Chains A and B, each alone.
Chain A
Amino acid sequence: MPDAIVAEGLSKTFNGSVKAVDGVSFSVREGEIYGFLGPNGAGKTTTLSLLTAVLGPTAGHAVVDGLDVFRHPHDLKQRIGLVFQEATADQDLTGRENLELAAALFGVPLRETPRRVNELLDRLALADAADRLVKTYSGGMRRRLELAVGIVHSPRVLFLDEPTLGLDPQGRAGFWKIVSELRKDSGMTVFLTTHYLDEADGMCDRIAIIDHGKIVAEGTPTQLKDRVGGDVVTVRPIGLADRLEAALKALPGVTAVTVQGGAFRVKCPSGEALIPKVVEAATGLGISIAGISLQRPSLDEVFLDFTGREYREDEGPTATDRAVFMTRFQNSRRGSR
Chain B
Amino acid sequence: MSGVRRWAALTRRELLKLGRNPQAIITSLLLPILYLVLFGQGFNFTNLLGSNPFITPAEKAQILQQSFLGAPDYFSYFSAGMVGFVAVTATLFVGANVIFDKLFGSLKRTAASPATATDIFGARLVAGSIQPVGLAFLVLGLAILLGNLGLAGLHISVAVSVLGAAEVVVAILLLSVMFASLFLSLGFTLEQPQTYFAVVNAINLPVLLTSAALYPWGLMPVWLQTIASYNPVTLAVWVIRITFFGDAYYAHPAWVYLGGLFVWAVGMFSVATWLTRRALAPRR
A binds B: yes
Contact status of A88 and B5, CB under 8 A, knowing A55-B282, A335-B195: no
Contact A77 B106 (CB under 8 A): no
Contact status of A53 and B282, CB under 8 A, knowing A77-B114, A100-B9: yes
Is A337's CB within 8 Å of the partner chain B? no
For A49-78 the 0/1 string (1 means CB < 8 A from B) is 000111110100000000000000110011
For B94-115 the 0/1 string (1 means CB < 8 A from A) is 0000000000111011111111
**B105 is contacted by which of A54, A73, A86, A133 (Cβ under 8 Å)?**
A86
Contact status of A82 and B112, CB under 8 A, knowing A91-B104, A328-B191: yes
For B6-17 the 0/1 string (1 means CB < 8 A from A) is 101110110011
- Tell me which residues across on chain A come within 8 A of B65, comparing CB atoms: none
**Closest beta carbon of chain A to B281's beta carbon, Å:** 8
Is B20's CB within 8 Å of the partner chain A? yes
Contact B110 A54 (CB under 8 A): no
Contact B9 A105 (CB under 8 A): yes
- Tell me which residues across on chain B come within 8 A of A52, comparing CB atoms: 112
Contact A56 B113 (CB under 8 A): no
**A101 is contacted by which of B10, B112, B283, B284 (Cβ under 8 Å)?**
B10
Contact B109 A77 (CB under 8 A): no
Contact A104 B5 (CB under 8 A): yes
Is A97's CB within 8 Å of the partner chain B? yes
- Tell me which residues across on chain B come within 8 A of A149, comparing CB atoms: 109
Contact B21 A92 (CB under 8 A): yes
Closest residue of chain A to B111, judged by CB? A54
Closest residue of chain A to B106, judged by CB? A90
Contact status of A105 and B115, CB under 8 A, knowing A54-B282, A73-B282, A92-B17: yes
Q: How far is the CA of A52 from the CA of B109 in the complex (A)?
A: 12
Is A281's CB within 8 Å of the partner chain B? no
Contact B13 A90 (CB under 8 A): yes
Q: How far is the CA of A44 from the CA of B56 in the complex (A)?
A: 82
New A-B contacts (9) at CB < 8 Å, excluding given A88-B105, A102-B113, A105-B9 = A77-B113, A78-B114, A82-B112, A89-B109, A93-B13, A93-B17, A97-B13, A101-B10, A104-B8
Which residue numbers of A lie inside 8 Å of B, CB to CB?
52-56, 58, 73-74, 77-78, 82, 84, 86-93, 97, 100-102, 104-107, 110, 133, 149, 328, 331-332, 335
* Top-5 shortest CB links A-B: A104-B9, A88-B109, A88-B105, A105-B113, A56-B284
Which residue numbers of B lie inside 8 Å of A, CB to CB?
2, 5-6, 8-10, 12-13, 16-17, 20-21, 104-106, 108-116, 191-192, 195, 281-284
Q: List 16 A-B contacts (CB under 8 A).
A: A53-B282, A54-B112, A54-B282, A58-B284, A82-B112, A88-B105, A88-B106, A92-B17, A92-B21, A100-B9, A101-B9, A102-B109, A106-B113, A106-B114, A149-B109, A328-B191
